[in-house]
Structure 1
């Protein structure tokens, strides 16, 4: 091979690398676990939230807040390039997270909020173990199933299984995919309950030696349509980490085939709510 030919081949390889790497890094994201709570409103006003999402390539958001006024304010920004999916969070104030499932005040609040007719799901809520047998939790699960709403549960596997027994077939996003639930149990749950979608924030075992954990990779390849990512801005300082979290997800997903990475990054979230990914000319 001549020197010119070798140079041309090398340039072609370098061009290929330079085109492919940024494309992977610039995966759009659907943030399936976001809170815009009252404490954050003065620190990062809604227009700045929208600007941040644009900067980091978040194109869709499952929006929740405490109280729900935060979600309404984000929707009022009317950003055409960012699709916001509102969920009803059953918390008026922070202490509600501990006993919302036994609170008549919360029950009245949820009933009032549902009358808005805008919510696509209920949560994120916290419930663990036998608390998931509380009559109001049973009612919420059955109401969600009847109305085609999603549940977003921050729960251990025991509570998730109880909820699914109360309302078989209800659609459930499992916040943090159990967070500390063993991989063996996660695999068992995904095999047994096809209506579970795993949200991946705060899973400390996603990466191993700087790349996607092989067990997670295997599970994602087996269930490519059943995982979503999230930032979980549950406290105000977490907003300063959103850009790094976006970079983390893109790095982690780069270990997967492009089509699977796209599904987990944003296509699954969009599909769950019947949204069309921005820039798509046809479904994928």
Structure 2
């Protein structure tokens, strides 16, 4: 029987996928307790105003130290929270610019007068490495002029958009500019694993943080959730963990959140666990992440 080009391609895809699963299931032992030796990069941190009194900047860094979190990607409402943390511990904080301030919040920020000027000024004043995390609750294509400006600002600085949305808005942003750099917050959160896989497969530069997904990934018993394991093994170069400290109760439970992340990373081969724990962040942000940062500012 003659094997056609599509058949060869399908066979190669099948073999690559089979090899990837074999890597997770048998060819390499899970990292197990060795996961506790890995530094973590927390790719979804907020230091919002309600946390400032209960959790002073010193206590945030101490919490990071206690959990082996070497660095964090931080955005806040307002941006002052991010800058407070970054000024206190510049060796530990990668700042990004959240648009929310004054009356501009998650539901109306794209309609807020003067938003472009606000973003331009904050980006000029501080070394933000992303714009976001921002929400697109419902795609409104009349917001296209603003989003084209946001994309322009990000591309001029070679930084990311950190987007909290379903799959459709992400596809729309790529339709505005195929080269925009996007971190998909919570890997879509409300999207099922099948649709998460499809979007990441369609856009080979799309990065995702897995904040709020840790329990879904862990599944039940000794194995990871199979649908999430498929995502992790296929896109291990483009995933990062996160805590999403959007309310004080997340700071209250920060130790538990990091424990949950280490629990699912522990079920992966060392090479994969290292990528998701910190090495992907090193590559994406051009930084060094190590346990040597623990106890420093």
TM-score higher than 0.5 here?
yes
Cα drift, residue 47 of structure 1: 0.5
Counterpart-to-counterpart distance in 2, 1:272 and 1:123 = 16
Cα drift, residue 195 of structure 1: 1.6
Specify the alignment match of 1:29 in structure 2: 40
CA contact (8 A) 1:30 1:229 kept: yes
Cα drift, residue 25 of structure 1: 2.9
Specify the alignment match of 1:88 in structure 2: 97
Instruction: Tell me: CA distance 1:132–1:60, structure 2 relative to 1, closer, same or farther (3 Å).
Output: farther
1:231 matched to 2:243: yes
1:184 matched to 2:186: no
CA contact (8 A) 1:217 1:256 kept: no
Specify the alignment match of 2:207 in structure 1: 197
Alignment of 1:39-118 (within 5 A): 39-78=50-89, 80=91, 83-93=92-102, 96-118=105-127
Query: Which ranges of 4 or more aligned residues in structure 1 deviate by more than 4 Å?
Result: none
1:127 matched to 2:136: yes
Counterpart-to-counterpart distance in 2, 1:113 and 1:148 = 16
Output the TM-score relative to the length of structure 2: 0.82
Cα drift, residue 270 of structure 1: 2.1
Counterpart-to-counterpart distance in 1, 2:253 and 2:126 = 32
The structure with higher relative contact order (CA 8 Å, sep 6+) is 2
- The partner residue of 1:209 within 220, 224, 238 is 220
Deviations 1:42-90 (A, max 9, x none): 000001101110001100110111111111111122364xx31110110
Specify the alignment match of 2:232 in structure 1: 220
Specify the alignment match of 1:260 in structure 2: 272
Alignment of 1:150-161 (within 5 A): 150-161=160-171
CA contact (8 A) 1:31 1:58 kept: yes
Q: Name the SS for the 1:152 alignment partner.
A: strand
CA contact (8 A) 1:142 1:166 kept: no
Q: Which runs of 5+ in 1 are unaligned?
A: 1-19
Counterpart-to-counterpart distance in 1, 2:113 and 2:44 = 26
CA contact (8 A) 2:41 2:289 kept: no
Count the aligned residue pairs. Answer: 259
RMSD between aligned residues: 1.8
Counterpart-to-counterpart distance in 1, 2:137 and 2:89 = 36
Cα drift, residue 133 of structure 1: 5.1
Output the TM-score relative to the length of structure 1: 0.86
Instruction: Tell me: CA distance 1:262–1:132, structure 2 relative to 1, closer, same or farther (3 Å).
Output: farther
